[in-house]
Amino acid sequence: MTASNADAGTGADAGSGFRQWSPDPGRDTGGADDGRAGGADDGRAGRAGAGGRSARGRKGPSPELDPDADPAAVARAIVLRQLTNSPKSRLQLARKLAERNVPEDVAEAVLDRFEEVRLVDDAEFADMWVRSRSQTRKLAKGALRRELADKGIDPDTAAGALDQLSDADEEVAARELVQRKLRGFTGGEDRAEREKITRRLASMLARKGYQPSLAFRIVGEVLDAVAGRDSAGD
């Protein structure tokens, strides 16, 4: 099938087990809304699409491996499944389509259509990624920038998403990480031991994308606070 047909949204025939795609995600989620996988027109096709088996229970070829399947319909189904699992960037989806041997021109046309209806949006994905990873993993801008680049987010889009994080946000997150690691630390170790702990904690922060100057400063301040607390308690 040509890219122009894919862009027009032409679906596979009934035997392929896929419904014609439309921009309404509620109507095209692999048939979840009507209980029949792949949106097949009858129960037998639905069972074949869901489990890769024929009506008699024999395992059949998966649609993406079937040489007679409509490449655009297969591509749309793959993209919808991927987006149902979790948000994805355009590059992530393109890589997945390439793994399934979808022709490049078909993949580009399908992804263009998904972008037109905003089911694929790299800017929105980048914003979500930064919010999630900065909160759950306490990652700083350096690490987040590398992750976004790996997912195909262009530098300008990444910079816009990273603007959500201020220097103050990063400092608070770094301090929380160090304090968590130092739970149970008494502050009574000698200088050599303190230097060893400082290097280890600063390295941990560096792996999470924090600048070395910030990392060493935060570690030193937290260690001083722990030592002062213990001295006051004596």
pLDDT band at 227, cuts 50/70/90?
Answer: confident
Instruction: Say whether both 46 and 112 belong to one domain.
Output: yes
- On the question of pLDDT at 197 being above 80, the answer is yes
Query: Residue 121 domain-assigned?
Result: no
Mean pLDDT of 143-160: 98
Instruction: Say whether both 11 and 60 belong to one domain.
Output: yes
Q: Show which of 103, 135, 162 is a domain's final residue.
A: 162
Q: Show which of 116, 150, 177 is a domain's final residue.
A: 116
Average pLDDT of the chain is 78
Mean pLDDT of 27-41: 37
pLDDT band at 35, cuts 50/70/90?
Answer: very low
What distance in Å separates the CA atoms of residue 182 and residue 187, rounded to the nearest whole number? 9
Query: Residue 210 domain-assigned?
Result: yes
DSSP-based three-state secondary structure for 59: strand
Count of structural domains within the chain: 3
pLDDT for position 229? 66
Instruction: Say whether both 108 and 36 belong to one domain.
Output: yes
- What range does the domain containing 146 cover? 126-162
Mean pLDDT of 124-135: 97
- On the question of pLDDT at 45 being above 50, the answer is no
Instruction: Say whether both 92 and 189 belong to one domain.
Output: no
pLDDT for position 68? 75
Q: How far is CA 200 from CA 42, 183, 195, 197, in A?
A: 61, 15, 9, 5
- On the question of pLDDT at 81 being above 70, the answer is yes
Instruction: Say whether both 27 and 97 belong to one domain.
Output: yes
pTM, two decimal places: 0.67
Query: Residue 73 domain-assigned?
Result: yes
Q: How many CB atoms lie within 10 A of CB 226?
A: 18
What distance in Å separates the CA atoms of residue 62 and residue 41, rounded to the nearest whole number? 18
Instruction: Say whether both 86 and 8 belong to one domain.
Output: yes
Query: CA dihedral defined by 39, 45, 47, 52, rounded to 10 degrees?
Result: -100
Mean pLDDT of 165-186: 92
Q: What is the pLDDT of residues 22-33, one digit of tens each?
A: 333 333 333 333
